[in-house]
Structure formats: structure tokens, C-alpha cells
Amino acid sequence: MVCFLATAFFWAVFPPYLLRRIVKQINFIGVKTTLVIVLTGTFTGMVLALQTYYALVKFGAETSLGPVLALSLIRELGPVLSALMVTGRAGSALTAEIGIMRISEQIDALDAMALNPYKYLVIPNLLAGIISIPLLNAIFVVVGVWGGYAVAVGLTGVSSGTYFGGIRDFVSAKDILVGLYKSLSFGMLITWISCYKGYFTGYGAEGVSKATTQAVVLSSVTILIWDYFMTSILLT
């Protein structure tokens, strides 16, 4: 797998750069996942606000709701949940698409035409993942904060000023960078695993089915494990 990634980055340096294909994949991985991200982000923010409020109110600390919610979303939930959403929606599709191309000899056809399959199938997806997932994470966090705002101000009675004032005071640039680094690495992990599993899929429909399942499971587990290591490194 490491060799696969190294080969992809090696070929990424050389032309042609296939910008149109990268844009197409950004549309597929990023733009078409936006609705899912908006929905999950909004409801994650809302439920987080509700749960956090009832926990904080026991200690009389409900004014901290805004920063607690924002920090949870920016540092953890935004990067992790947006990555998991992309894995489910786009990662599985990438593996299936590349896998079907493999079993129907379309990848061999590219190779036979003296065209590098990495350039057409792997590099555009890797770059699209690295570009799209941080942006989706940003959308997730923003709508999550607004979802939390709706619950906090609309249902629990926390004032608007307290909510946003707390966020402004406690959220630092470092917190945002932690989320950014995480989502950048998740973007690479998801597309790397998905492309690899599709590229080296087994035979027939069963092979593609297994590869797709493996890609989703491995991506999801890797995201959670990698998240722990990233957190432990970035917060020290």
C-alpha cells in the first residue's frame, strides 16, 4: 500500500497534470457530498448543544456551551465525521468504480494505450480528496455551530452574545489548524485506501464487492486510529 502511494506521488510530479480530471473528482468527492455534510453537521451541532447544555447546567456552566461545542466540532467531530461521511458516500464509489474498471480490463486498456493509469485514476482522486475534505470539514463545522446556536439560543435560553462571545474568546487559530491537519490527512487516507482496494480488486462481482467493503471498513477504522495519534501529537 505504501508503495502504491509512493508511486502515485512520484507520477504526480510529472506532466500531464490532468487538471480537468482533478476538478471532476473534486465535484464528485466534494461538491456532491455537500448536502450530506450539511445535514450531518447541522444535526450533530444540534444534538451536541442539547447534550452539552444538560451536562453543563448541572455545574452552572451553561455559558460555556458555545466554546465547548465549537471546540468539539473544530478539533474532533468535524474532521472525523466529515471524513466518515465521505468514506461512505465517495470512498466506496471510488473503490467500486476503479474495481469495475480493473475487472473489465479498462485499466489494462489505458496501459495498452501507453497512458499511465495512476495519472487517470489515482492521482486525481488523491488530490481531490486532499482538497475537498478540509473544505467539507469547514462546512461541517460552520453548519454545526449554527445548528448548535439554533438549539442553544432557541431552546435552552443561552443568549446569542454568550454563545458567540465564548467561541470568539476560546477558539484559537491552533484549534482550527488541528482540524485542518486532521482533515487533510483523512482526505489522503480515504482516497489512498479506496483507490488501492479498487486497483487491486479480486475477480468478478464478488471481488469488487469485497474490495468495496474492505475499503469502507479499513478507511473508517484507520480514520479513528489515526485521529487518536494526530490528537495526541497535535495537542502536546
Partner 1 sequence: MIEVVDLYKSFKNHEVLRGVNLKVEEGQTLALIGGSGKGKSVLLKLIIGLTKPDRGKILINNQDISKLRGKLLKQLKERCGFVFQGGALFDSLTVFDNVAFPLREKTRMKESQILDTALSELARVGLSGAENKYPSEISGGMKKRVALARCLVMKPEIVLFDEPTTGLDPLTGKAIHKLIRDCQKSLHFTAIMVTHEIPAIFPLVDRVAMLYNGKIIASGTPAEIETSQDPVIHQFVHGELEGPISIQ
13 binds partner 1 (CB under 8 A): no
Closest approach of partner 1 to the CB of residue 10, in Å: 12
Query: Are the beta carbons of 139 and 85 closer than 8 angstroms?
Result: no
SS3 content of the chain, % helix, strand, coil (to 5): 90, 0, 10
Closer by beta carbon to partner 1, 75 or else 119: 119
Contact mark string toward partner 1, 21..60, x via CB under 8 A: ----------------------------------------
Interface segment toward partner 1; rule CB under 8 A; list 26-34, 112-120, 160-168, 193-201: 112-120
Burial degree of 36 (CB within 10 A; 0-12, 13-18, 19+): middle
113 binds partner 1 (CB under 8 A): yes
Nearest C-alpha neighbor of 128 from the set 91, 100, 97, 98: 91
> According to CB under 8 A, which one of 19, 55, 57, 105 is a site residue for partner 1?
105
b vs e for 202-230, b when ≥16 Cβ sit within 10 Å of the residue's Cβ? beeeeebebbbebbbebbbebbeebbeeb
Report how far residue 60's alpha carbon sits from residue 79's, in angstroms, rounded to the nearest whole number.
30
Interface segment toward partner 1; rule CB under 8 A; list 109-117, 178-186, 189-197, 203-211: 109-117
> According to CB under 8 A, which one of 109, 177, 221, 233 is a site residue for partner 1?
109
> According to CB under 8 A, which one of 106, 209, 214, 231 is a site residue for partner 1?
106
15 secondary structure, DSSP code: S
Query: CB count, 10 Å around CB of 13?
Result: 8
Nearest C-alpha neighbor of 149 from the set 171, 165, 137: 165
Closer by beta carbon to partner 1, 119 or else 182: 119
6 binds partner 1 (CB under 8 A): no
Tell me, by CB under 8 A, how many residues bind partner 1: 11
114 binds partner 1 (CB under 8 A): yes
Interface ranges with partner 1 (CB under 8 A): 100, 104-106, 108-109, 111-115
